[in-house]
Structure 1
Amino acid sequence: MMKHSAQSLFIGTLPMGLTTITNFTILAISGKYEWGMDLAFVLWCVQFVFTMFSCIAVPFYIIVHHNHQLESMNGTWLLPIVPAVVTGASGGLLANHIDEHRGLIVLIISYITMGMGLCLALSIIAIYFYRLAVHNLPPKEVIISSFLPLGPLGQGAYGMIQLGSAAKRLLGDKYIMGLGDTAYGAGFIAALILWGYGVWYLFVAVFSVGNTVKQKIPFNMGWWGLTFPLGVFTASTVAIGNVLDSMFFLVLGAILTCILVVIWIAVTAKTLLGILSGEMFYAPCLTPVVLNT
């Protein structure tokens, strides 16, 4: 699987999926049970290990073993990198709730992880824009991947707010006078910048898919690429609205949430139909290669 140029990219979805469980544990379980926060910490550590494997091992295989062409590039190149942004954001949420000793360690690791993910993601997004400018839109089979740049941008915006909030709590004036407040302010400004960049790619993705609809876009697992990017962009919109106490961002977040629910229901229904027919159980890395003789 690691040597397959397309299938290997989806390894990053494992830590991203685990993030949902980790965040739910932090928000819904830790307050009710004494062991809840310990469980959340363990889950985050496991998530971090998977993230490092995805961010380091998969790009190594991309460089050494795969044969990628600029013309065939699409948003799935971001999938091995995005877990670093997701784990950094999840670490900020965890650091805001866990005890000070472990929280400070998680906070520092999360900032480093966020830096790794955001910088790499922005580099790939720049290459992706160049690919669009030179080779036009991706094929209809992967056109849904046009939404994937929203993932690191939206989650990065949400994560910078969470990390800033945790830094304000844990750092304060501990090392440098006003360090916690500075981190919180800088994180929020960074969130606004990333959110604005995300708005641009949201329009590009909508126009790209709209321009391709007439070609009858086939359903595949790539359609789940609609839920995560829009989900984290919605989360960042609501987080910005909460910080600013802005009705505009909160109402926009509510609208995006409704759209996201409708999309999730539609994709889930199509996925269930694909499971019943067996069409969803296709693994390219397990398909035997037929050699011409």
Structure 2
Amino acid sequence: MSEKNTDEGRAMGPKSWVTGWHWRERILHFTPSWFTICMGTGGVQLALVNFPYPYTGAVYWMRNLGYCFWIVEISTFVIFAVMLTIRYIWHPKLFMKSVLEFPTCSYFGAIPIAIDTSLVGIISYYGYRDGAVWVAFAFYWVAVATTILSTFGLLIVQIMKQKHHSMEEVAGIWLMTAVPMVITANAGANILGNLDRVSTKAALTVLIVSFMFWSLGLCLVHFILACYFWRLISYKLPQNQLLASGFLPLAPLAQGALSAQLMCIYLSNYLKKDHYAPTQSHPPPLPQSTLNSTGEAIHWLGILVSLFLLAHATFWLVQASASILYRLPLSFNIGMWSFTFPWASYATGWAILSRDLRNDGMRGWTAFNTVAVILIWLYCAVETVYYGFWKGSLFFAPGLEGWIGDEDDEESKNKKKELQKGGRTMKSNGTYDFRRPSAQDEENRSKANGPASASGHSNGSEEGGMTQRKSERGGDD
């Protein structure tokens, strides 16, 4: 490759597959933001499964289409996880660089969200099998662990280690540190009904943990939304590459509405079925009519909370859509996948609510949003395949220009130092480590010294050379 092409590759990222895949550069520039593709694909799968027409749910062919999206999501997640792991193994310095830099660090929250959407897919298609329910239960705890790590870990790093943040830098992407908690709560709410069939105790544990995640996640989300709203009033719209992140408030609000309704439905059924009531150990059990009334009240409470959160999400949908129409992005970037998952979550939240209230207007609104998010997903998928995997221009992380070239230059400098030192390299403790001579070194030294070198030591050491020089001086004398 010529020097010109090399410089262009460093400045603009990997070239197209026609001139070579350049997987080393693609992995170098692979960031956690690519997991938003998995998020969006899983969100579309959920929207298709819960499509409101007919009234009982999506038809058979729509469920099959959603199943295809689910397989695509799992496949891309595995590929991206392998690429990200290889990236940090090859370049361990980049891990701390990603954690300490904003907004790159926020995209780590996309990983537990992708796990959550895959988990819900297991219940959506194989919930009738007890084995699949236990698999989903195990993945739920994996999602809980990664959510705690990403949420609390990233928040602590942002507070203690990252540079000073100004109000002007606040954008919708900041929500990615808190959104995983709400999405994990929704994943737990989705498996409650099937998990109760195999173990009521396990279902109650998931209910408690999910409710704690739901409450904490929504509190953090509303804190950040207050700052984001003030930032919009004070500094207007963010820069173009972060403009699509204005749709991110839809994700926690809509998923929070969905999870609140599902958890209330499960708790209502539990009270009616198991005759449970607080402080019921010593007094006689409450009558069934009281438990039924309490269950209905809890169910309606979930509907009211869902309406409140979806109304809040609708405001952010209007605001984000107006922002995009006011300032159309001139080029496609991975951040534009931030459209898909929040909007799909918004459609799914209205789908479950319309099913409970049996409202035709809500069904029509849900169908419109579902079709819109599918069209957006198709647009993002085509652009990603063309500019990402075909041309390679999407594999570009700011701040890494010439990183591979710098590594190569540093490696060549080290080799030159080794040759100047006679094959010696400095250890970290300040001592020398002698490089073991190779067969090629032996051959080169034999040719240089001639037949007399045979009288020296067979390993070609300095002692053999000194003996040879002494004998030659003796002959001259």
Same fold flag (TM > 0.5): yes
> Could you say which residue in structure 2 is the equivalent of 1:245?
358
> Could you say which residue in structure 2 is the equivalent of 1:12?
109
Letter in 2 for 1:79: M
1:263 maps to which of 353, 365, 376: 376
Distance 1:226 1:111 in 2: 27
**Normalized against structure 2, the TM-score is what?**
0.58
Call closer, same or farther: CA 1:204–1:52 in 2, change over 3 Å: same
**Normalized against structure 1, the TM-score is what?**
0.93
SS of structure 1 residue aligned to 2:100: coil
1:141-220, aligned counterparts within 5 Å?
141-172=241-272, 173-176=275-278, 178=291, 180-213=295-328, 216-220=329-333
Q: 2:189 aligned with 1:87, yes or no? A: no
Is the contact between residue 92 and residue 163 of structure 1 (CA under 8 Å) also seen in structure 2? yes
> Could you say which residue in structure 2 is the equivalent of 1:3?
100
Call closer, same or farther: CA 1:217–1:63 in 2, change over 3 Å: farther
2:203 maps to which of 103, 109, 134: 103
Is the contact between residue 93 and residue 166 of structure 1 (CA under 8 Å) also seen in structure 2? no
Is the contact between residue 141 and residue 217 of structure 1 (CA under 8 Å) also seen in structure 2? no
1:140 maps to which of 221, 235, 240: 240
> Could you say which residue in structure 2 is the equivalent of 1:53?
149
SS of structure 1 residue aligned to 2:208: helix
Distance 1:157 1:103 in 2: 20
Distance 2:123 2:373 in 1: 23
Further displaced range: 134-143 or 278-287: 278-287
Distance 2:399 2:177 in 1: 17
Call closer, same or farther: CA 1:171–1:10 in 2, change over 3 Å: farther
> Could you say which residue in structure 2 is the equivalent of 1:279?
393
Is the contact between residue 92 and residue 110 of structure 1 (CA under 8 Å) also seen in structure 2? yes
Give per-residue Cα distances to partners, 1:82-118, cap 9 Å, x unaligned: 0110111111111121031100000011000000111
Further displaced range: 123-132 or 66-75: 66-75
Further displaced range: 163-172 or 221-230: 163-172
Letter in 2 for 1:256: N
What is the deviation of 1:175?
2.8
Is the contact between residue 73 and residue 131 of structure 1 (CA under 8 Å) also seen in structure 2? yes
Letter in 2 for 1:194: L
Root-mean-square deviation (CA, aligned residues, Å) is 1.8
Q: 2:219 aligned with 1:119, yes or no? A: yes
Distance 1:19 1:263 in 2: 22
Call closer, same or farther: CA 1:131–1:103 in 2, change over 3 Å: same
Q: Where does structure 1 lack aligned partners over 5 or more consecutive residues?
A: none
Q: 2:134 aligned with 1:38, yes or no? A: yes
What is the deviation of 1:183?
3.1
Distance 2:400 2:305 in 1: 42
Is the contact between residue 4 and residue 285 of structure 1 (CA under 8 Å) also seen in structure 2? no
- Based on CA coordinates, which of the two structures has the bigger radius of gyration? 2
Distance 1:74 1:3 in 2: 17
Call closer, same or farther: CA 1:66–1:169 in 2, change over 3 Å: same
What is the deviation of 1:63?
0.8
What is the deviation of 1:171?
4.1
> Could you say which residue in structure 1 is the equivalent of 2:120?
23
Distance 2:399 2:306 in 1: 38
Count of equivalent residues: 287
Give per-residue Cα distances to partners, 1:37-80, cap 9 Å, x unaligned: 11110111111111111210001111111232110211000011
What is the deviation of 1:285?
7.4
Call closer, same or farther: CA 1:174–1:134 in 2, change over 3 Å: same
Give per-residue Cα distances to partners, 1:219-246, cap 9 Å, x unaligned: 1111110001101000011111011000
> Could you say which residue in structure 2 is the equivalent of 1:227?
340
Distance 1:248 1:203 in 2: 18
What is the deviation of 1:286?
5.8
Aligned residues: percent identity? Answer: 25
Distance 1:2 1:284 in 2: 14
Further displaced range: 61-70 or 125-134: 61-70
Is the contact between residue 91 and residue 106 of structure 1 (CA under 8 Å) also seen in structure 2? yes
Further displaced range: 93-102 or 276-285: 276-285
Letter in 1 for 2:143: Q
Structure number with greater CO (CA < 8 Å, separation at least 6) is 2
SS of structure 1 residue aligned to 2:330: coil
What is the deviation of 1:264?
0.4
What is the deviation of 1:137?
0.7
Q: Where does structure 2 lack aligned partners over 5 or more consecutive residues?
A: 1-97, 279-289, 407-477
Distance 2:167 2:184 in 1: 28
